[in-house]
A and B are shown apart, each in its own frame.
Chain A
Amino acid sequence: MAKQDVQKTLAELSRELQESKARLEEAQRVAHVGHWEWDLATDVVVWSDETYRIFGLSPQERPMDLATVHSMVQPEDRELIYRAAEEALQSGNPADIEHRLVRPDGEVRTIHSVGTVKRDSSGRAYEMFGTVQDITERKRSEEALKRSQFYLSEGQRIAHIGSWAFDDSGHYWSDELYKIYGLDPRNGAPTVDEYLALIHPQDRAAMVETIRAMQEEHRGFDQIERIIRPDGQMRYIRAVAVPVMEEGVFKGFIGTTMDVTEQELLTQELRREQAYLAEAQSLSHIGSWATNFHTRQNFHLSDETYRIHGFDPRQGPPGLERFWATLHPQDERLVRETLEEAVRAGMDYDISDFRIRRADDGQIRFLRTIGHRNDMGEIGDYVGITMDITELKRAEEERERLRQLEADLAHINRVNMMGELAAALAHEIRQPIAASITSANACLRWLARDPPDLERARAAASRIEQDGNRAADVISRLRSFYKKGTPPEREIVNLKDIIREMTTLLRKEAIRHSIKIHSELGEDMPDVLADRVQLQQVFMNLMLNAIDAMKEIGGKLTIGSRLASDGQVMVSIGDTGVGLPAENTERIFDAFHTTKPQGTGMGLAITRSIVEAHGGRVWATANAGAGATFHFTLPAKAEEHA
């Protein structure tokens, strides 16, 4: 071979070698993998360019030896490297470790290093050869994934949310989901039948339908259902499932399940409380509300508030203007002014009695409303209550009317007592008059004696004077009693009202004697102008007379009223009792005329004087059947004015 050829061949070989070495370096650079050689005899280390780069140095910047390598490894990992190397030398297996290094600029990198031991034909190890790979980025993303998985499961645990997925590759349940259902994760996700067995019997049918819709229609859901855990505990869960579609193709479901027992129980408690509150409001006719009087907006009206005003709850809170519109015209100014003044001053208010025309049925209702400024809210924010006091007022009026009636009755009794009193007084007057007449007779007899006994006559005359004064005293006492009675007061009186009152008052008395009270009142009877109390007494006297007449046998008391031909109002009170005396029917109205053992003979006399004082007439007629009827007339009110 020619020397030239050899040289040429050598040059070519050298070039090829250089090229091959360059390709290796290039490959190492692209793959981020470097290599190293460690001469066991000399401890000289040879690194590839990429290895220098991985260690944060310029390629071939300086020669390497074991001590330099040693100094660049993270101190905590140095021991690890020696041990791995020794093991590899002894066992002959490759060393394969991950360790950290510290670059000259201080950056820590994680590398994966693999080394094999080279041996000569006698089996003596003379060199280790290996590769290094920078795995810092891979390590970081691995850790990040681990962390995020930890966070996820921790989040599920804290929030009581489990998740699941269901697709071709299988059925996945998160740890928390097992915990929610009280299942052991080691047994794996339950089958459909196992799952249904966990559902509360009352919710099971709905769940069967849900699963059917999932399977057949790929429909997701969001529902609350009850489960019974294997330990017997009942829990409320909210389950959400979403179908997974990829390019229009159904792939499966993913979903979350949340234990909402605490929320659900709270919600139920809240609903119950609300129901109680609504019930209490409805019972007490008290509604509550929250309003801003500046923005004229009602934030909240309780159902009872809607009802009180006659608004439809389904239409939501109406504006303030609609409230104003329901106010009774006569009360509108009072309410608006009180309220506006309170709002301007930022004060609480209490409007205790006003009327509205209810929006739905137009009924007039009496309300009371109390507003408290809401200190925490905006300007003009008020919360308050509104009460329907209509029934309360009616009851109050009824009480007042009864009280008035009782007072009237007490007065009637007093007036009635005057009859008794007159009889008692008659006795008291009769006594001194009788005494003085007797004394006068005695006096005359003393004078008629022969000779006249003047001394005795004078004594008799002085007794006459005393007795005369005594009689006068009685009469003045009587007059002062009459003065105490109310002076006659004429007012417009509705006869029907009086008849109703008297019937009410005497009903018990009538029932006790088996007497029925029957009214035949004419339609459109005009009112009369009369002293109400006196008129009540007339009815009282005549009705009591009628009851007296039927005391022993029972019977029927008939009160009739009609318009007489002369335009006067005529009232008739009939009984089915013992009837009138055969003779002197007119005399029954005389004072002290009585046919009753306990009678004073004043009742009818007083009746007549009252009726005649009112410009009417009173008389009695015998009934065709049993009993008597007493009639009286009174001028109608219109006639009085004419």
Chain B
Amino acid sequence: MTSEAFPTVFVVDDDRGMRQAIQDLVESVGLRAESFASAEEFLRKKHNTRPSCLVLDVRLPQMSGLDFQRRLVEKGIEIPVIFITAHGDIPMSVRALKSGAVEFLTKPFRDQDLLDAVQQALQRDRTAHEQQADIRDLQERYRALTAREQEVMTLVVSGMLNKQIASEIGASEATVKVHRGHVMHKMQAASVVDLVRMADKLELSPRK
């Protein structure tokens, strides 16, 4: 986890002075920062640095900040966004926050407000990153199950007894027990409750 050592703040603002000031402020608290003059410039960059966040001027030339946010979602780039604006009004900020913005700041802003927002955003990204890593781990374990084991797991988490499962899949109760033991082991589930929680995260639809 080398990236964790360098959380990065991306700054997109068409105003050079503003862009440099924000980058400098972020760097003054020991964070990495990269700045871009336009949304296109930012989108061209590869995004693998985690955790990170984006400080975005709403009134960009060519593309408004809110459109830009939509583009990010479309491209599958998940990054917390902090909006800054020289001329924002209430409806605009509400829209921004509803679409997932961390914070909406009006220029000039208090430095601490921006830094707090940056920390909050990075934390949110970190959490999201961890959650995504968990799910990826579970998915790997789930994929390691045989087809029959996956079928049994689905039936177990829907609350069926071994006997019912046996009649459902046309096997003996003893065979079901063996499958169930493999599922619990492979999924590293401590209990049935644990397994149900995992199924939830994997978004398996329980058998009705």
The segment from A25-33, A44-52, A246-254, A435-443 found at the interface with B is: A435-443
The segment from B24-32, B133-141, B198-206 found at the interface with A is: B24-32
B86 and A430 contact, CB distance less than 8 A: yes
**Residues of A with C-beta under 8 A to B17:** 431-432, 435-436, 439, 463, 466-467, 470
B25 and A431 contact, CB distance less than 8 A: no
Q: Tell me the minimal C-beta distance from B111 to chain A in angstroms.
A: 3
Chain A interface size range: 20 to 34
Tell me which residues from 421 to 435 in chain A have a Cβ below 8 Å from any Cβ of chain B: 426-427, 430-435
B86 and A427 contact, CB distance less than 8 A: yes
Q: A431-B86, A431-B107 are in contact. Are A442 and B28 (CB under 8 A)?
A: yes
Q: State whether the Cβ of B170 lies closer than 8 Å to any Cβ in chain A.
A: no
**Residues of B with C-beta under 8 A to A456:** 24, 27-28
Tell me which residues from 1 to 31 in chain B have a Cβ below 8 Å from any Cβ of chain A: 15, 17-18, 20-22, 24-25, 27-29
Closest chain A residue to B110, Cβ basis: A441
A442 and B18 contact, CB distance less than 8 A: no
Chain A contact residues: helix, strand, loop or mixed: helix
Q: A442-B111, A463-B20, A467-B17 are in contact. Are A434 and B25 (CB under 8 A)?
A: no
**Residues of A with C-beta under 8 A to B109:** 434, 438
Q: State whether the Cβ of A460 lies closer than 8 Å to any Cβ in chain B.
A: yes
B86 and A438 contact, CB distance less than 8 A: no
Q: Mark A369-406, 1 if CB is under 8 A from B, else 0.
A: 00000000000000000000000000000000000000
Q: Tell me the minimal C-beta distance from A129 to chain B in angstroms.
A: 153
Q: A430-B107, A442-B25, A445-B28 are in contact. Are A435 and B86 (CB under 8 A)?
A: no
**Residues of A with C-beta under 8 A to B114:** 438
Closest chain A residue to B108, Cβ basis: A434
Q: A430-B86, A431-B86, A434-B107 are in contact. Are A445 and B21 (CB under 8 A)?
A: no
Q: State whether the Cβ of A446 lies closer than 8 Å to any Cβ in chain B.
A: yes
A434 and B18 contact, CB distance less than 8 A: yes
**Residues of B with C-beta under 8 A to A453:** 28
Q: Mark A285-313, 1 if CB is under 8 A from B, else 0.
A: 00000000000000000000000000000
Report how far A64 CA is from B22 CA in the complex, Å: 170
Chain B interface size range: 20 to 34
Report how far A411 CA is from B157 CA in the complex, Å: 77
A442 and B21 contact, CB distance less than 8 A: yes
Q: Tell me the minimal C-beta distance from B35 to chain A in angstroms.
A: 12
B87 and A459 contact, CB distance less than 8 A: no
Closest chain A residue to B114, Cβ basis: A438
**Residues of A with C-beta under 8 A to B22:** 438
Q: Tell me the minimal C-beta distance from A442 to chain B in angstroms.
A: 4
Q: What 6 pairs across the A-B complex have the smallest Cβ distances?
A: A441-B111, A434-B107, A434-B108, A435-B17, A438-B21, A445-B28
B86 and A434 contact, CB distance less than 8 A: yes
Report how far A445 CA is from B27 CA in the complex, Å: 10
Report how far A422 CA is from B87 CA in the complex, Å: 13
A435 and B29 contact, CB distance less than 8 A: no
B28 and A433 contact, CB distance less than 8 A: no
Tell me which residues from 65 to 117 in chain B have a Cβ below 8 Å from any Cβ of chain A: 86-87, 107-111, 114
Q: Mark B164-192, 1 if CB is under 8 A from A, else 0.
A: 00000000000000000000000000000
**Residues of A with C-beta under 8 A to B20:** 435, 439, 463
**Residues of B with C-beta under 8 A to A466:** 17
Report how far A433 CA is from B86 CA in the complex, Å: 10
**Pairs across A and B, CB under 8 Å, 18 listed:** A427-B86, A427-B87, A431-B17, A431-B86, A432-B15, A433-B108, A434-B18, A435-B21, A436-B17, A438-B18, A438-B25, A439-B24, A439-B25, A442-B21, A445-B29, A446-B28, A463-B24, A470-B17
Q: Tell me the minimal C-beta distance from A451 to chain B in angstroms.
A: 14
**Residues of B with C-beta under 8 A to A459:** 24
Q: Mark A544-562, 1 if CB is under 8 A from B, else 0.
A: 0000000000000000000
Q: Which of B24, B87, B110 contacts A430 (CB 8 A)?
A: B87
A435 and B18 contact, CB distance less than 8 A: yes
Extra 13 A-B pairs, beta carbons < 8 Å, given A431-B17, A434-B109: A432-B15, A433-B107, A435-B18, A437-B108, A438-B18, A438-B24, A439-B24, A441-B110, A442-B21, A445-B111, A456-B28, A463-B17, A467-B17
Report how far A436 CA is from B115 CA in the complex, Å: 16
Q: Tell me the minimal C-beta distance from A438 to chain B in angstroms.
A: 4
**Residues of B with C-beta under 8 A to A446:** 28
